[in-house]
Amino acid sequence: MKVINTEVLILGAGLCGLTLAYRLQKEKCSFIIIEARDRIGGRILTSKSSTGTTIEMGATWLGKKHTALNHLLGEVGGKIFEQMLGDHAIYEPISTSPFQLVTLPENSDPSYRIVDGSFSLIDKLSAPIKKDQIRMGEKAIEINVESDGLKLKTDLGIYKAKKVISTVPPYLFFKTVRTVPQLPLTLQAIMKQTHTWMGESIKIGLTFKSPFWRRNDSSGTIFSNVGPISEMYDHSDFDDNAYALKGFLNGAYFSLTPDDRKSVVVNQLKKYYGKKVDEFIDYKELVWAKEKYTFAPYKEHVLPHQHNGHPLFQNSYLKGRLYVGGSETASQFPGYMEGAVQSANFMYQRLKDDWI
């Protein structure tokens, strides 16, 4: 089998991996990205309805405090717009009482969305990268230390590189990639208890011809302790000519069929909006627990954000040639898009300091 040589191997073509590749491209550094999925983007996935409405099935929001992400968007020409919340929200505190329309406090720290969808950032980052530099549908299996670098075995080939950068969730790396020699036991113990953000989430979205929820006696912002939808928001596009509601379904509903999930979603929304809900154009969903290249079941209970940003993720391993990166490893805003960009920037600086 032919061995392919490169300076840097990047595991994962999500936001972190593609940001790192985007920066290495400018340095004329050779790299190859290994991506197990048949698509790029990782936990960023913007679905389009039959009417062209974009619905985020993955990472969606950012804030002004997310400075690394905002800077990257500025670099590539991405634009943002404020998430519409309105003055009121539908609030359902308990199952034995009817829902309420409550007044929302003034929001001094609004959330924003990316114009044209989160995936537009993935498109911009990947545009300069040559097709043969992203190997999709290829799974990393084993990393071996050799005298002059690292050797990566995949299910389709063998690669050699000076450095290997993992940008996949640390727990998934722990579960699916062997290293010879083994990583330190202290790091393995942290990795197997590191929470994968969004791993248990179910994202749902429905498109409509008109934003009927914007009446004075209603709202597109929903908070429910009853469920099965826990949160929902107006997800109309920047131009406000394509209308949608998007939110989160309780993760316990992962075992239902898509039709059954759609049914419980519609039934809950009809409590708030009546028969207008039956006029939805498209229903979209993504059960992240079923995405095997994002999520692996934990053997023991893991809390949200557990071990995210742990100091051990800031070190290098296998004689300084392996970096364990990705959003969960960032020291600030781990698990979010900001964390993914910060991790990419951190690893890029490490590579630059070493030898670029």
Q: Which of 89, 173, 79, 152 is nearest to 121 (CA)?
A: 79
Q: What is the CATH number of domain 51-56+82-113+200-290?
A: 3.90.660.10
Q: What value does the mean pLDDT take over residues 306-328?
A: 97
CA distance to 36, 201, 210, per residue, from 230 (Å): 31, 11, 23
Burial of 264-282, coded b for 16+ CB within 10 Å and e otherwise, reads bbeebbeebbeebbeebeb
pLDDT at 49: 83
Which residue matches tokens 């929903």?
Answer: 222
Please check whether the two domains, 1-44+118-199+291-356 and 51-56+82-113+200-290, share a CATH topology.
no
pLDDT at 225: 95
Q: Is CATH 3.30.479.30 the right assignment for the domain spanning 1-44+118-199+291-356?
A: no
pLDDT digits (tens, 9 = 90+) for 222-257: 999 999 999 999 999 999 999 999 999 999 999 999
Which element (helix H / strand E) includes 323? Answer: strand 322-324
pLDDT at 356: 52
Q: Is the per-residue pLDDT at 105 higher than 70?
A: yes
Q: What's the predicted TM-score (pTM) here?
A: 0.95
Domain ranges (residues) in the chain = 1-44+118-199+291-356, 51-56+82-113+200-290
- C-alpha 198/C-alpha 305 separation (Å) is 10
Q: What value does the mean pLDDT take over residues 76-82?
A: 97
- Which conformational region is residue 53 in: left (phi greater than 0), alpha (psi within -120 to 50 degrees), or beta? beta
Q: What is the distance of C-alpha 128 from the center of its chain?
A: 22
Please state whether beta strands 134-136 and 31-35 pair in parallel, antiparallel, or not at all (unpaired).
parallel
Given pLDDT bands bounded at 50, 70 and 90, which one contains residue 187? very high
pLDDT digits (tens, 9 = 90+) for 271-309: 999 999 999 999 999 999 999 999 999 998 999 999 999
Burial (CB count <10 Å: 0-12, 13-18, 19+), residue 211: middle
- C-alpha 169/C-alpha 292 separation (Å) is 11
Which element (helix H / strand E) includes 264? Answer: helix 258-273
- CA-based R_g, the chain, Å: 21
